[in-house]
């Protein structure tokens, strides 16, 4: 049962103030709603025909849709925006990242994973030529692979549908970077890639990966819980091919 104090507090939102900013809750609630509408309009939040797109939580325990110290979570939005509001708003967007894999032959392993995933090997030869011509790069850090100049010991692949910098060839979306290191792989990876079968099915996927240089290790068939093969890439890195 609600206490009288709680009931009174909820019945007088005009008297409520933010514990963090001291501003009236109604004022900040307006900021929240206006900012949310702006984010939706600008495309930062996914458009959803549901009243549950945004769910405000008032840490003061009062009037969730007009709260001062709130977190706004769009649980179904692909952008996963979280906003912390205190008369003004700070948006913490998802960060850009890439996966980096240690190798002994970066260009060769990049070729394998580009073929395995349907990605494109980044062409950074234009950047390298420009840096060499300007005297900003030493010949010793440059090599050639498949007719292209590349940075020695490095290679990268990117998703073909994602944007990339045409001046440098560097992908600006989903990306994997391969870098040569002096030490060999010694233990099982604590992080691995799962490659999911498309319309061709798991058996065909595993055969295709084998033709590219991968090796089967062990099959797991858990029925409705999943069916996958643990495999190794040409340098021994474990990954899974899954249905």
Token pair 């979306």 in the structure block, residue: 173
pLDDT digits (tens, 9 = 90+) for 118-153: 999 999 999 999 999 999 999 999 999 999 999 999
Q: DSSP code of 154?
A: E
**Is the pLDDT higher at 99 or at 64?**
99
Q: What is the pLDDT of residue 37?
A: 57
Give the pLDDT mean for 63-74: 39
Q: Which CATH class is domain 185-243?
A: alpha beta
The pLDDT of residue 23 is 52
What are the structural domain ranges in the chain? 4-92, 96-184, 185-243
pLDDT at 92: 72
* Predicted pLDDT of residue 26: 53
Q: What is the mean pLDDT of residues 55-74?
A: 40
pLDDT at position 81: 39
Q: What is the pLDDT of residues 193-217, one digit of tens each?
A: 999 999 999 999 999 999 999 999 9
- Residue 3 has what pLDDT? 45
In percent, the amount of the chain with pLDDT more than 90 equals: 61
Q: What is the pLDDT of residue 93?
A: 86
Largest CA distance in the chain: 79
Residue-wise pLDDT for 1-56, tens only, equals 444 444 444 445 455 554 444 555 455 455 445 555 555 565 554 544 334 334 44
What's the first-to-final CA gap in the chain, in angstroms?
Answer: 51
- The CA distance from 111 to 241, in Å, is 18
Give the pLDDT score at 53: 37
**99 φ/ψ sector (left φ>0, alpha ψ -120 to 50, else beta):** beta
Using alpha carbons, list the distances in angstroms from residue 227 to 204, 220, 233, 240: 14, 6, 19, 10
Give one word for 70, left, alpha or beta, with left for phi > 0 and alpha for psi -120 to 50: beta
Confidence at residue 63, expressed as pLDDT on a 0 to 100 scale: 38
Tally of residues, the chain: 243
pLDDT in the model for residue 76? 37
pLDDT of amino acid 55 = 46
Q: Is 84 a residue whose pLDDT tops 70?
A: no
């Amino acid at each position: 049962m609600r206490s009288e104090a709680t009931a009174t507090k909820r019945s007088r939102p005009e008297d409520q103030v933010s514990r963090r900013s001291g501003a009236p809750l109604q004022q900040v609630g307006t900021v929240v709603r206006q900012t949310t509408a702006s984010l939706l309009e600008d495309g930062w939040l996914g458009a959803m025909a549901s009243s549950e797109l945004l769910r405000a939580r008032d840490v003061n325990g009062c009037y969730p849709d007009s709260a001062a110290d709130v977190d706004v979570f769009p649980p179904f939005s692909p952008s996963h925006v979280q906003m912390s509001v205190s008369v003004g708003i700070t948006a913490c967007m998802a960060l850009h990242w890439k996966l980096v894999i240690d190798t002994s032959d970066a260009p060769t392993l990049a070729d394998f994973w580009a073929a395995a995933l349907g990605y494109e090997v980044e062409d950074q030869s234009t950047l390298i030529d420009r840096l060499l011509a300007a005297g900003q790069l030493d010949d010793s850090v440059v090599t050639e692979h498949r007719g292209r100049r590349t940075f020695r010991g490095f290679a990268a692949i990117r998703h073909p549908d994602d944007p990339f910098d045409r001046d440098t060839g560097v992908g600006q979306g989903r990306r994997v970077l391969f870098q040569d290191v002096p030490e060999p792989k010694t233990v099982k990876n604590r992080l691995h890639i799962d490659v999911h079968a498309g319309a061709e099915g798991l058996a065909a996927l595993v055969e295709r990966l084998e033709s590219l240089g991968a090796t089967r290790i062990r099959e797991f068939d858990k029925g409705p819980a999943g069916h996958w093969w643990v495999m190794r890439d040409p340098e021994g890195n474990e990954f899974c091919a899954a249905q």
